[in-house]
């Protein structure tokens, strides 16, 4: 059995919570895209932990995998592993596997993300975790993979190959690059040594598990409208966040998929810039934010909140091929009178029940009461 879970909106629909609930029914849980731009809060023995890269389901029994389509900051991962083990949640290589081809987020990716945002005339509002620049390197064939940092000689050769162009890029954005890279290179070598025992081939593991009749859950990060191809460009993340991406990024055939679960929040939120047709600016938006605890797990930014948006969900069902839906945070609406939903958009004097193909930038919501 192979199940894919994705967010149907702009992320933060509560995917992590649903994965945690289902985790005991699965043998493997695989994270397939994104990086530490994602965030997920877990509560264990009364303590709250914020996780960004360790897959959800950590409190249950299944083996956790990080697939090759993820961009991983290895320092963040080590920090999370250490923090969990200090709290008696021990992560060993038996418990966690990371694909050898996983892209590594390098210090220059984070610097470039910061510089990129600072020099843009219109901000995207990224999480400044270096995500876009790490994926750019993958496409440009300049990425550093986990198997590189676990081999000191190979890593140093790779750095000397790609660093000059990064320095040029930084200079062109008005920043003098750090002259002493020895320090962080050695730090990464140390981190690579720690991560070596976790190396695996995720596609091989998942395909074998499925052939043995085991149950695999693929956990998406972010949400459908942050998808690099189908989202609200340019206000998107740099990976494919929809269900089909699980097959490509893990390396399994589409015929293996059994079900696709869409996580749908009873209202809508978005962090960062970009269109949000049903956004509420006044008291009701503030109330949803406070009641729903709508603050970014990664950046702490207040999330923009709005009424439930049916046109977006209709398209999301198509993009992901949902076979099931989980509705989350319905309780946050308790006491609100009336509760409203957007059933269509008004755009260029016409009514659209499905988002118009141009863009949703200037769509006005048609709001009904429940
Ligand atoms: P990046 O992924 O850091 O490049 O950010 C691009 C956009 O995606 C920004 O608007 C972020 O706020 C948004 N974003 C990235 N990750 C998440 C997430 O996990 N939840 C919600 N929004 C996210
Ligand atoms: Mg989140």
For 227, left (φ over 0), alpha (ψ -120 to 50), or beta?
A: beta
Quick: pLDDT tens for 128-155: 999 999 999 999 999 999 999 999 999 9
What CA–CA distance (Å, rounded) separates 268 from 365? 13
What CA–CA distance (Å, rounded) separates 298 from 128? 10
In the predicted model, is pLDDT for residue 178 greater than 80? no
**Residue 39 alpha carbon, nearest atom of ligand 1:** 19
12 touches ligand 1 (CB under 6 Å): yes
pLDDT band at 370 (very low <50, low <70, confident <90, very high): low
> CA quadruple 81, 125, 7, 230: dihedral positive or negative?
negative
pLDDT band at 181 (very low <50, low <70, confident <90, very high): confident
Closest by Cα among 296, 297, 326, 294 to 313: 326
What CA–CA distance (Å, rounded) separates 68 from 241? 14
Quick: pLDDT tens for 324-368: 999 999 999 999 999 999 999 999 999 999 999 988 999 999 997
**Ligand 1 centroid from CA 239, angstroms:** 10
Quick: pLDDT tens for 242-281: 999 999 999 999 999 999 999 999 999 999 999 999 999 9
Do 279 and 309 form a contact (C-beta atoms < 8 A)?
A: no
40 in catalytic set? yes
Q: Please give the average per-residue pLDDT across 175-197, as a whole number.
A: 89
Tokens 């191809």, residue? 229
User: What is the model's pLDDT at position 182?
Assistant: 87
Helix pair angle (74-86, 182-195), 10° resolution: 50
What CA–CA distance (Å, rounded) separates 185 from 300? 30
* Average per-residue pLDDT for the chain: 95
Specify the DSSP element, H or E, that contains 291. helix 283-292
**What's the pTM value of the predicted model, to 2 decimals?**
0.96
Which tokens in the block code for residue 51?
Answer: 């996780």
User: What is the model's pLDDT at position 179?
Assistant: 67
Mutate which of 129, 271, 276, 298 for ligand 1 pocket (most atoms within 8 A of beta carbon): 271
- Ligand nearest the Cα atom of residue 17: 2
126 touches ligand 1 (CB under 6 Å): yes
**Ligand 1 centroid from CA 238, angstroms:** 9
Do 42 and 51 form a contact (C-beta atoms < 8 A)?
A: yes
249 touches ligand 1 (CB under 6 Å): no
131 touches ligand 1 (CB under 6 Å): yes
Percentage of the chain surpassing pLDDT 70?
99
37 touches ligand 1 (CB under 6 Å): yes
**Residue 274 alpha carbon, nearest atom of ligand 1:** 10
In the predicted model, is pLDDT for residue 311 greater than 60? yes
**Ligand 2 centroid from CA 65, angstroms:** 19
Quick: pLDDT tens for 60-114: 999 999 999 999 999 999 999 999 999 999 999 999 999 999 999 999 999 999 9
Is 50 in a helix, a strand, or coil? strand
12 in catalytic set? yes
**Residue 226 alpha carbon, nearest atom of ligand 1:** 8
Residues 6+ apart with CB under 8 A from 282: none
User: What is the model's pLDDT at position 369?
Assistant: 65
38 touches ligand 1 (CB under 6 Å): yes
User: What is the model's pLDDT at position 297?
Assistant: 84
Most distant CA atoms of the chain, gap in Å: 64
Percentage of the chain surpassing pLDDT 90?
89
Residues 6+ apart with CB under 8 A from 161: none
Which tokens in the block code for residue 247?
Answer: 């097959």
226 touches ligand 1 (CB under 6 Å): yes
- Domains annotated for the chain, with CATH where assigned, are 2-102+197-262 (3.40.440.10), 103-195 (1.10.300.10), 265-313+328-369 (3.90.170.10)
Q: Give the active site residue among 20, 36, 40, 137.
A: 40
For the chain, how far is it from start to end, CA to CA, in angstroms?
37
CA-CA distances (angstroms) from residue 280 to 11, 284, 306, 354? 18, 7, 5, 21
Mutate which of 226, 274, 305 for ligand 1 pocket (most atoms within 8 A of beta carbon): 226
pLDDT band at 180 (very low <50, low <70, confident <90, very high): confident
What CA–CA distance (Å, rounded) separates 365 from 272? 20
**Ligand 2 centroid from CA 137, angstroms:** 25
What CA–CA distance (Å, rounded) separates 101 from 50? 26
User: What is the model's pLDDT at position 16?
Assistant: 92
Chain center to CA of 56: 12
Closest by Cα among 224, 222, 239, 246 to 311: 224
What CA–CA distance (Å, rounded) separates 262 from 324? 6
What CA–CA distance (Å, rounded) separates 267 from 339? 10
127 touches ligand 1 (CB under 6 Å): yes
């Amino acid at each position: 059995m192979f199940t894919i879970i994705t967010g149907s909106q702009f992320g933060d629909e509560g995917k992590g919570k649903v994965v945690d609930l289902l985790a005991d029914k699965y043998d493997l849980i695989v994270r397939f895209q994104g990086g530490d731009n994602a965030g997920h809060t877990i509560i264990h023995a009364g303590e709250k932990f914020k996780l960004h890269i360790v897959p959800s389901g950590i409190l249950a029994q299944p083996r956790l995998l990080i697939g090759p389509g993820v961009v991983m900051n290895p320092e963040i991962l080590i920090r999370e592993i250490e923090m969990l083990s200090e709290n008696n949640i021990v992560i060993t290589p038996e418990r966690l596997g990371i694909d050898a081809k996983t892209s590594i987020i390098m210090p220059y990716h984070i610097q470039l993300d910061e510089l990129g945002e600072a020099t843009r005339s219109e901000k995207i509002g990224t999480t400044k975790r270096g995500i876009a620049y790490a994926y750019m390197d993958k496409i440009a064939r300049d990425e550093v993979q986990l198997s590189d940092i676990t081999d000191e000689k190979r890593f140093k050769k790779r750095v000397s190959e790609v660093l000059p162009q990064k320095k040029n890029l930084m200079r062109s954005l008005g920043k003098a690059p750090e002259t002493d890279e020895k320090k962080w290179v050695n730090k990464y070598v140390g981190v690579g040594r720690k991560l070596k025992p976790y190396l695996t081939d995720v596609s091989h593991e998942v395909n074998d598990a499925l052939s043995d009749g085991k149950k695999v859950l693929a956990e998406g990060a972010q949400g459908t409208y942050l998808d690099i191809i189908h989202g609200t460009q340019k206000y998107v993340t740099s990976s494919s966040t929809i269900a089909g991406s699980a097959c490509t990024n893990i390396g399994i055939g589409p015929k293996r998929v059994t079900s696709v679960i869409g996580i749908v929040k009873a209202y809508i939120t978005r962090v960062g810039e970009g269109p949000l047709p049903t956004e509420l600016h006044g008291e009701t938006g503030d109330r949803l934010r406070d009641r729903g605890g709508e603050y970014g797990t990664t950046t702490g930014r207040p999330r923009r909140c709005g009424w439930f948006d049916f046109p977006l969900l209709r398209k999301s069902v198509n993009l992901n091929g949902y076979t099931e839906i989980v509705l989350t945070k319905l309780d946050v609406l308790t006491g609100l009178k009336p509760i409203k939903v957007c059933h269509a958009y008004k755009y260029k004097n016409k009514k659209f029940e499905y988002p118009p193909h141009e863009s949703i930038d200037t769509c006005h919501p048609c709001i009904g009461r429940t």
